[in-house]
Structure 1
Amino acid sequence: MTMKSEKTRPRAPLDRSGWIEAAIEVLAEQGVQGMRIEVLAKNFGVTKGSFYWHFKDRQDLFNAVLQTWRDGRIRDIHKQSVAAPGLEREQLLHLIDVYGATRNRKGISIELAVREWARRDAEAAAVVEEVDTWRLECTRKLFVARGVSESEAKSRSLLLYAYVFGQSLMACERYDPGIADFKRWIAELIVRE
């Protein structure tokens, strides 16, 4: 079978979750403006009727995409921030490593697309704020469990996420051969006692 015939071959109808996942892929690549029903249907090789079978309208899809992103982020944050008593420091270092890694370009693309969307849409902004609050609250609890005061725990949580998101967007691997050592030093500075 040639590539051309594979491209034009109709896909099986998408279910609701399939539409949502496909829309998230488009969101990561093209932003919210790329999530147009006609374009999505054409790209997926299905009819607009498939879309309307699962969604009331485009806003319904937008809401489902935001809900899916939010639920996935909160579930992941919760999972990544659970620590046995006495192991909070190690868990914080793990969080810095996981969220600061540049290896997940797709995740970073989705994060950036949702944040760009939130700059122009109040509902998206509310979802981003909810996710950020979860992130900050989960790390705050880890810092407090280590004996850090409430106010300092909040500050360190903000610093932790500012660092991991900021450095994950930077292309700094060639900055210095010792960049891995710099990153470890910064992580240790954030979680110090």
Structure 2
Amino acid sequence: MTHSDQKASTKGDGASAWIKAALRAMAQDGISAVRVEVLAKELGVTKGGFYWHFKDRADLLSRLLDDWRDGRIAAVRAVTEPKEGETPRDGLIRLLLRQLGNPNQRGLATELAIRDWARNDLQAAAAVEQVDAERSARVIALFIAAGMEPDLARTRAWYLYSLLFGQALVTPPQDGTAAMDKLAEDAVDMLLRTTREPIGQ
């Protein structure tokens, strides 16, 4: 193993570097782009450095999924944890604004690539299912805390996440922060309604 291999294979940052490189490759070109030779070239090491941390490509993919799943679950727990004095409505608006005001295009590309991979891979599908379950449970709890029945809360949580993912694929409003605030408030107020009367009546 060369000196550069050892540098990229330190038993902490080294494995993380390989996983991050794999995630970047997958986000850009899909799971088929995650190849040891390509990643080694990007990291500036030989293939030998790879085997310091991973048994094979399958081991890398398994740990990539673990890293993505754990990161997404930690993120959703952090953003849905109620702040002091915050109402469930406030929490839902904050969740929506976090995505509207700071779209993570690389994160979205990674998630879309993993979901595409999950269509044909049971391990990837299991990771996606775990992330979706955590997201749903957290947002359902906010709707229930706002006084909504569990069945309706589940439906509204699905609507909210459809909005969160869908908005990243379209051009956002160009009128600045105030427009974003209004959009988030209107969306949450619509989702919190349990009657069919138009808003404003």
Tell me if TM exceeds 0.5.
yes
TM-score norm. by structure 1 comes to 0.84
Letter of the 1:115 counterpart: R
Deviation, 1:184, is: 4.1
Alignment check: 8 A CA contact 1:100 1:165 kept: no
Equivalent residue, structure 2, for 1:191: 192
Q: Is the partner of 1:148 in helix, strand or coil?
A: coil
SS, match of residue 63 in structure 2: helix
The aligned counterpart of 2:45 is: 46
Partner of 1:69: 68
When the two chains are superposed, the root-mean-square deviation of aligned CA atoms in Å is 2.2
Alignment pair present for 1:13 and 2:14: no
Q: Distance in 2 between matches of 1:169 and 1:179?
A: 18
1:187 deviation in Å?
3.0
> How far apart, in 2, do the equivalents of 1:85 and 1:142 lie?
14
State the one-letter code of the partner of 1:155.
T
- Structure 1 residues 92, 172: CA separation in 2 closer, same or farther (over 3 Å shift)? closer
- Contact 1:92/1:191 (<8 A) preserved: no
Give the number of equivalent residue pairs.
Answer: 181
3-state DSSP of counterpart to 1:127: helix
> Contact 1:93/1:191 (CA < 8 Å) preserved in 2?
no
CA distance in 1 between partners of 2:60 and 2:192 (Å): 40
Aligned to 1:92: 92
TM-fit CA distance, 1:186: 2.2
Question: In structure 2, how many angstroms separate the alpha carbons of the residues matched to 1:18 and 1:31?
Answer: 18
Identity in percent: 38
Distance 1:93 1:182, change over 3 A: closer
Deviation per residue, 1:79-125 (Å, 9 max, x gap): 11111576211011111122344631111111111111112211111
TM-score (norm 2): 0.81
- The residue correspondences of 1:1-193 to structure 2 (distance < 5 A) are 12-14=7-9, 15-83=14-82, 84=84, 87-101=87-101, 103-173=103-173, 180=180, 181-182=182-183, 184-192=185-193
**Which stretch has the larger CA shift, 76-85 or 181-190?**
181-190
Question: Contact (CA 8 Å) 1:74, 1:134: kept in 2 or not?
Answer: yes
- What is the CA deviation profile of residues 52-90 of structure 1, one whole-angstrom value per residue up to 9, with x for unaligned ones? 110011010001111000000000101111115762110
Q: Is the 8 A contact 1:115 1:125 kept in 2?
A: yes
Q: Is the 8 A contact 2:93 2:184 kept in 1?
A: no
Shift of 1:28: 1.3
Structure 1: distance between partners of 2:85 and 2:145: 8
Give the C-alpha shift of residue 171 in structure 1: 2.5
Residues of 2 paired with 1:57 and 1:188: CA distance? 50
* Structure 2: runs of 5+ lacking an equivalent: 195-201
- Give structure 1 stretches of 5+ with no counterpart: 1-9
More divergent stretch after superposition (77-86 vs 51-60): 77-86
Q: CA 1:23–1:108 in structure 2 vs 1: closer, same or farther (change >3 Å)?
A: same
Aligned-partner Cα distance in 2 for 1:42–1:74: 31
Change (3 A) 1:66 1:117: same
Distance 1:115 1:101 in 2: 24
